[in-house]
Structure 1
Amino acid sequence: MPWLQIKLNTVREQAAKLEDALLDTGAVSVTLQDNADQPILEPGLGETPLWDQVRITGLFDADIDTRNTTEQITARFNQALPEHQWEQLEDKDWEREWMSNYHPICCGERLWICPSWLAPPEPDKVNILLDPGLAFGTGTHPTTFLCMQWLDGQTLDDLHLVDYGCGSGILGIAALKLGARKVVGVDIDPQALLATSDNAQRNQLAENAMPVFLPPQAPNEPVDIVLANILAGPLAELAPQLSALTRRDGKICLSGILATQADAVMAAYADNFVFDPVAQKDEWVRITGTKIR
């Protein structure tokens, strides 16, 4: 089925009003994109920030009258539309188009992340079956890749871990497949807990191998390794809690941190840990260390 789309260049203050106008006039979807290469790297909790310059795309059925629809959008917007243009959207098999963007990812000597619709390139290695979903963590982001790469280099046999901010569960699942005895998944988002449980089942892990909890209900006994791929601000705030979760001589792996934020995060943990050299991929870093007290 062919489609028509209208693209409009606007500013942050007008974006919500323009989005409502498109939806009210029959748009089947509305997409907002950065229109000035302005990254938003660490929004605050509960925030949904927008860029200063925004490109809005509204998708419509191909049988609409674009002139009439433009007039309707203008009336709903209640002022002259910003710079805009209509385009015909090529008809494609969008499911296959989306799937074509994901490929197996090698995260070290042993570890692969594989979409479920593709055969693992190296079936004898440790393969994590993981499809993109609502929860963060598919291996494509540098922070996840850095943590997976670190896990690949560890001896995890019979260890007990906590994956704090588990998202999709990818780190905990990888740890279990690399030999860990048990991983506790913790996240503030109930959707992430569901995703973790579903992905653990998809990877044929034992039913009780990775129990999941919201933070208030999570166990607090110290474990061998604590993984936390979150963001720099929460990592610094959680330093007392995550430090207490790590047993003496245990290890911690922290990511979701920009290179410019590494010193501040390390300072929050410095009283309890001796650090390894910081690993970096693009502008993101991974901090690992061993607990000394």
Structure 2
Amino acid sequence: MRELVLNCAQSQAEAWSDALLEAGALSVSVEDADGDTEHEQALFGEPGTEPDVLAWQRNRLVALLADGDDPAQLLASLDGLAGPAPGQADWFLREVPDADWVRLTQSQFGPIVVGERIWIVPSWHRDDAGLPLAGARDGIVRIELDPGLAFGTGSHPTTHLCLEWLAAHLQGGETVLDYGCGSGILAIAARLLGAGPTRGVDIDEQAVLATVRNAATNRVEIEACLPDGLPEGTSQVVVANILSNPLKLLAPMLSARVAPGGRLALSGVLERQADEVCEAYAPHLPLQVWAARDGWVCLTGQRA
């Protein structure tokens, strides 16, 4: 394989990236052309948001080419987009060495420790020496979960907050509803922490399938379904790790799903959004901030 590497200005980066992909490039990445120098710039936004500027002053586009791709044809597709196509001095080709891409990708995902009790272990680390066995020390919970299409692999601060909340509050035997279950990680953790009958609900059918598959891998029973398949009734614990806007819209429904004396835990909420989410739930079930991390909060409340 080969990579086409070319320089461009900030105003060209997005248009040229899209054009290269449409012309047949397998992938395109944008890098700071001044990276690792005194002129390097950081691009970042608030947690959960994109930065205001999506490129640097001077950028390097790296396009991965399929075998047989003509770089001249790809470069021609850029002509007239935010200026003329790159000149001969502005681009070059380089070879991409053969590699085991699956193994390289897997190497980026190691075991994750959440709090004092929970370990999230990708399947390719299943037999690694030094990892604790589930229940072997201080009630350790070990979840086997591979990064995939469904949201919730255990790396995001909101997932950590929900997992730690479950570890701190589950007493054993509670019925649990995980609304917006994604990969099923919260529902699986609840069962491994001793919860009773547990349901996972998601609007994405692929997430429902992932939850069922991951539950089987971890040898726990979880009923997973789309919202239309959720039967009437309440649960002693309801968790939802989504985002603030859908959480506000779901306030009447999620609150009604909490059994008398039961608890509700919400995350996916930025610290600056906490008050407005609490306000949306106030008529139904009072909430307060339980914990915060990296700009995100976990909100919790108990039904009288």
Equivalence for 1:46? none
1:6-155 matched pairs, under 5 angstroms: 6=5, 9=8, 15=14, 18-19=16-17, 21-31=19-29, 37-39=43-45, 52-54=53-55, 57-61=62-66, 66=71, 68-75=72-79, 80-81=84-85, 85-86=91-92, 88=94, 90-91=96-97, 92-119=99-126, 121-123=131-133, 124=136, 125-155=140-170
2:83 and 2:283 map into 1 onto residues whose CA distance is 58
2:26 and 2:239 map into 1 onto residues whose CA distance is 40
SS of the residue corresponding to residue 220 of structure 1 reads coil
Residues 10, 221 of structure 1: CA spacing in aligned structure 2 closer, same or farther, 3 A cutoff?
farther
- 1:54-107 residue CA offsets vs partner (Å, 9 max, x unmatched): 4764211477564x2454333595952479644636534322222122121222
Give 1:210 shift: 1.3
Equivalence for 1:245? 257
Give 1:30 shift: 3.6
Give 1:268 shift: 1.4
Is residue 2–residue 94 contact of structure 2 (8 Å, CA) maintained in 1?
Answer: yes
1:143 and 1:18 map into 2 onto residues whose CA distance is 34
Equivalence for 1:177? 192
Is residue 230 of structure 1 aligned with residue 228 of structure 2? no
1:143-222 matched pairs, under 5 angstroms: 143-205=158-220, 209-222=221-234
TM-score (norm 2): 0.80
Greater shift in the superposed pair: 53-62 or 147-156? 53-62
Extract unaligned runs of 5+ from structure 2: 33-40
2:292 and 2:23 map into 1 onto residues whose CA distance is 47
1:184 and 1:118 map into 2 onto residues whose CA distance is 28
Is residue 8–residue 57 contact of structure 1 (8 Å, CA) maintained in 2?
Answer: no
2:199 and 2:31 map into 1 onto residues whose CA distance is 36
Is residue 21–residue 76 contact of structure 1 (8 Å, CA) maintained in 2?
Answer: no
Is residue 182–residue 211 contact of structure 2 (8 Å, CA) maintained in 1?
Answer: yes
TM-score (norm 1): 0.83
Residues 74, 269 of structure 1: CA spacing in aligned structure 2 closer, same or farther, 3 A cutoff?
closer
Instruction: Return the index of the structure with the highest Cα Rg.
Output: 2
Extract unaligned runs of 5+ from structure 1: 44-48
Give 1:41 shift: 5.6
- 1:114-167 residue CA offsets vs partner (Å, 9 max, x unmatched): 111114621122100001000110111000011011111123421111100000
2:146 and 2:54 map into 1 onto residues whose CA distance is 32
Give 1:22 shift: 1.8
Residues 212, 199 of structure 1: CA spacing in aligned structure 2 closer, same or farther, 3 A cutoff?
same
SS of the residue corresponding to residue 200 of structure 1 reads helix
1:18 and 1:229 map into 2 onto residues whose CA distance is 36
Is residue 108–residue 153 contact of structure 1 (8 Å, CA) maintained in 2?
Answer: no
Is residue 47–residue 294 contact of structure 2 (8 Å, CA) maintained in 1?
Answer: no
